[in-house]
Copies of this chain bind each other. A is one copy, B any other.
């Protein structure tokens, strides 16, 4: 590349899948990428631009003139084009759209930019194949030939009435298998699952997964067919949801990746560390109230990490089981009372087992009956309380429209640390003063 041997680069990248070229480009800087772009066919460039990670792309598109960008966007589906435009300033957006020669594409993209990025309307592409219910197969195939130029992958042909309302779908397979003279009305399937423009992307993902759809038609509030969402976008939504959940569980407050700057990574991690720190400092002040007990029985201090760690572990286990049920609504049919009863049962089983084991070990090693009793009673209570907290917190968050996975993160650990300390020292204070 350093020698800029055009012929060699062109030749070695010919026939290579754009996704592989994208992976390669991450190794180069923006200027080098720009140079390689100039050597490749425009449609390959467009595919690469679409493939790039969003935060890499944002730097990358700054290198191009609006006119160049418009050329690339013409090769993309309207939804992918709109995604790229979302990343620009309003001013640059306008300029790029002005340079798009294909009037239809430009109006499609303008239409899509009206929606929020994370609802069905922002996820859909305008390109799709539709057929009027009154057409014959022959007419339909002719129309498909016309429409198909703009549509990369067909999946189903959507059937609409004269008002443009979605009434059903028909697969390409059925069209190929049908007689030319048959009518769409005779062979179409009126049982079609559609989504509405304002639906949240996560809701769309759940629906498409439930019905195993590889494409879903999008209708507006009046039932008119306005676009379609394809499964590749949904795969991205599902992956993003999983990433978001991982970050919540890990207590990372922004969408960062390992290649972000030190400062961005620090900033994303600091808020929850500070929450944990404040919790720790509050815990320290609280224990100060029991200074007398610790001076008398210093061994009490030895078991603080056991109590807090168990509380944290039990809390995260409980909350993640609830989060899983919430993500998969079929699984658990019972109400909140049944749910809590079951959680408490599980907590009693595990609490008894753990408490007995700890009692045995402390008796054997420390030969101190009140200490063993204190630690094991406190441990049992903490298992119960942390189970309850871990179950109820994600349910409450979910009720208020907050992502319940937040409850599996440092939040629950910090709360359970404090709760655990309160229980432990209360039990100790009570038992030793009897």
Decide if A301 touches B303 in the complex (CB within 8 Å): no
Residues of B within 8 A of A144 (CB): 173, 176
Decide if B249 touches A320 in the complex (CB within 8 Å): yes
In whole angstroms, what is the CA distance A307 to B323 when docked? 28
What would be 18 A-B contacts, judged by CB atoms less than 8 Å apart?
A19-B211, A53-B330, A155-B214, A172-B173, A209-B239, A238-B238, A238-B239, A249-B250, A251-B316, A251-B317, A256-B321, A259-B332, A265-B346, A266-B353, A273-B317, A285-B365, A287-B301, A300-B301
In whole angstroms, what is the CA distance A247 to B316 when docked? 10
A206 to chain B, nearest CB (A): 10
Contact of A325 among B258, B284, B324, B328 (CB under 8 A): B258
Determine whether A45 belongs to the interface, using a CB cutoff of 8 Å to chain B: no
For A375, give the chain B residue with the smallest CB separation.
B284
| Given A241-B242, A257-B332, A295-B298, 7 extra CB contacts under 8 A | A176-B176, A238-B238, A256-B321, A258-B331, A266-B349, A291-B299, A313-B413
Chief secondary structure at chain A's binding surface: helix
Residues of B within 8 A of A173 (CB): 144, 148, 151, 153-154, 172
In whole angstroms, what is the CA distance A272 to B144 when docked? 58
Contact of A141 among B148, B176, B241 (CB under 8 A): B176
Decide if A305 touches B421 in the complex (CB within 8 Å): yes
Of A193, A247, A312, A408, most B-chain CB atoms within 10 Å = A312
Determine whether A223 belongs to the interface, using a CB cutoff of 8 Å to chain B: no
